[in-house]
Structure 1
Amino acid sequence: MIVAEPPPPPKSSARIDHLLIGALAPLGDKRAPSGIDKHPARRRLKLGREGFEGDFQGDRKNHGGPDKAAHHYPFEHYATWRTEIGALPRLDQPGAFGENFSTRGLDEDSVALGDVFRVGAALIEVSQGRQPCWKLNVRFAIPDMAMRVQKSGRTGWYYRVLEDGFVAPGDELRLIDRRSPDWPISRLWRALYVDSQNSEELAAMAALARLPDGWRRIAERRLAMRTIEDWSARLTGADPA
């Protein structure tokens, strides 16, 4: 039996260095509508159950919605990516990964499912990690960028909104509650992509009260079928067989 290591003590707060939103625009040869090209906002923005005002997603089936209202990506990861894929212009400023929050000091090891933060006037809760998709391949002009992000564990995470409110660049993201402290985003990542057929971990994951239904179904299906789902459509954009 694999026993998960206890998560490190949580960092209680971080400052929002950049608050980013994106309009819809065609992406790549498919001309798929996408809001991944995000840019810093210079004013406070309303954050509601579906996300930030002025922020858009082209594929509402797989992006956005109450469990993916805002995406957070640690800025520290940018330096690591530069060592791995080179000093690409895309990495010169935040927003490369389509994130809404860019901060320093929080990462996938220290942030856990169900963590509740006060940010500006809004109250938000960590809902899940990111499952990277093929749009990152196009954005970085690297054919396997989505797979690289998935394998790295440097995925970032999503929030659901518990209380609507205005958020501004420079606001403090302050931790006020931990509902599943034993389940940092990195542990969810390992259960999905590393030790992906560990029945004990999958059962524990499926039992998490704050887990989105989509992730719960993945865990339950693996337990029932003893197989791993096909990731190729998500990671490459190929039409499913």
Structure 2
Amino acid sequence: MSAAANQSPSQQNLSNYNHPLPLHIANLTCVRAGKAMPFTREQMSAIDKKPIEAPVTVNFMGLTTDEQADRRHHGGPLKAVHQLPIATYDKINAEFGLKVRVGTLGENLTTEAVNNLPEMDESSVCIGDVLQYGAIDDDKSVQLRIVQPRRPCYKINDQIGQFKFSKIPNVASWVSKQGIAGWYFEVVRDGLIDTGLPVYLTERPYPFATLETLWQLSNSKQKFDAKVIEPWLAIECLEDSWKKVLKKKIKTT
């Protein structure tokens, strides 16, 4: 049996990234932004994102045409841009018998893999990855760093519930347990972003730190040896609330 056959799916995906960087891993298939609109529970929300048909500026707060109604829990430098794999919609729709359309759950970016590489998802991207959206020699191309997974909240349930007359299950909880909510970027370099741009992986300082593994550790009811958790705590760019969760997973003597 080959070594690859003994690897987990995420390890096999990551092995495909053992190439010199920068590496063209995907193309940007859609850029979306939302406007704060009346929502459920007498609130406002911009969770429903619509495609943008022209280049848009990205600064440290995200897409300049994108809004967040609840600045306490959404947006800001450590949640500047959200990317979600299209496969998440396929999984939700298959699990719950729904027809949730892409863009419903608040993502700004969707991509499609190239060069026989894996799709960008929680098993193939890592905390600390820096992605460039645009030509590698274009100094106006946006650069984004993955700093945390997205934590699904009740607004996902409310948003999906608007498209059905009957009460739906707790989709947000299920997505969290599956660890398939996508991820947030901080902006490394301002620039312009537009549908159709190539996506380059330019830095991968923590190849062990897949989002899939982070979710598994965070959701586990088990405790772990310090040597398992400490490398995560040393990741400077990992958002602090996730480090707090991981610290609680260390075995105590």
TM-score of the two chains, using structure 2 as the length reference: 0.79
2:242 counterpart of 1:215:
yes
**What TM-score does the superposition give when structure 1 sets the normalisation length?**
0.83
- Identity, in percent, stands at 30
Q: Please, which of 78, 82, 92 is the counterpart of residue 93 of structure 2? A: 82
Distance 1:114 1:143 in 2: 34
Contact 1:8 1:109 in 2 (8 A): no
1:21–1:100 Cα contact (<8 Å) kept = yes
Report matched runs for 1:13-162 at 5 Å. Answer: 13-28=25-40, 30-88=41-99, 90-91=100-101, 94-104=102-112, 105-120=119-134, 121-141=141-161, 142-162=168-188
Query: Aligned pair count?
Result: 219
Whole-angstrom CA distance in 1 between matches of 2:246 and 2:91: 30
Work out which of the residue numbers 192, 207, 211 in structure 1 matches 2:218: 192
Kindly indicate whether the alpha-carbon contact (under 8 Å) linking 1:119 and 1:171 is maintained by their aligned counterparts in 2. Answer: yes
Deviations 1:53-101 (A, max 9, x none): 111112212211111111101112322222111142x32xx20221000
The answer on whether the counterparts of 1:114 and 1:180 sit within 8 Å (CA) in structure 2 is yes
**2:78 aligned counterpart, secondary structure:** helix
Question: What residue in structure 1 maps to residue 200 of structure 2?
Answer: 174
1:238 counterpart residue number: none
What's the counterpart of residue 232 of structure 1? none
Distance 1:116 1:195 in 2: 31
1-side partners of 2:50 and 2:66: how far apart?
10
Structure 2 CA distance, aligned partners of 1:225 and 1:191?
13
- Residue 215 of structure 1 and its aligned partner are, at CA, apart by 1.8
For the residues of structure 2 that align with 1:108 and 1:99, how far apart are their CA atoms?
A: 15
Deviation string 1:23-57 (CA, Å, 9 cap, x unpaired) is 001221x2222110111000110011001011111
Shift of 1:195: 5.0
Query: Displacement of 1:207 after TM fit?
Result: 2.2
Unaligned runs of 5+ in 2: 1-7, 18-22, 113-118, 135-140, 162-167
Structure 1 partner of 2:233? 206
Please tell me the residue identity of whatever aligns with 1:176.
T
SS of the equivalent of 2:172 reads helix
Which amino acid in 2 is paired with 1:124? L
- Unpaired runs of at least 5, structure 1: 227-241
Q: Which of these two proteins has the greater Rg computed from alpha carbons?
A: 2
Secondary structure of the corresponding residue to residue 217 of structure 1: helix
Please, which moves more after superposition, 30-39 or 196-205?
196-205
Asked whether the equivalents of residues 9 and 110 of structure 1 are also in contact (C-alpha less than 8 Å), the reply is no
Q: State the match for 1:9 in structure 2.
A: 16
RMSD (CA atoms) = 2.3
> Structure 1 residues 76 and 143 mapped into 2: Cα distance closer, same or farther (>3 Å)?
closer
d(CA) in 1 for partners of 2:232 and 2:72?
Answer: 23
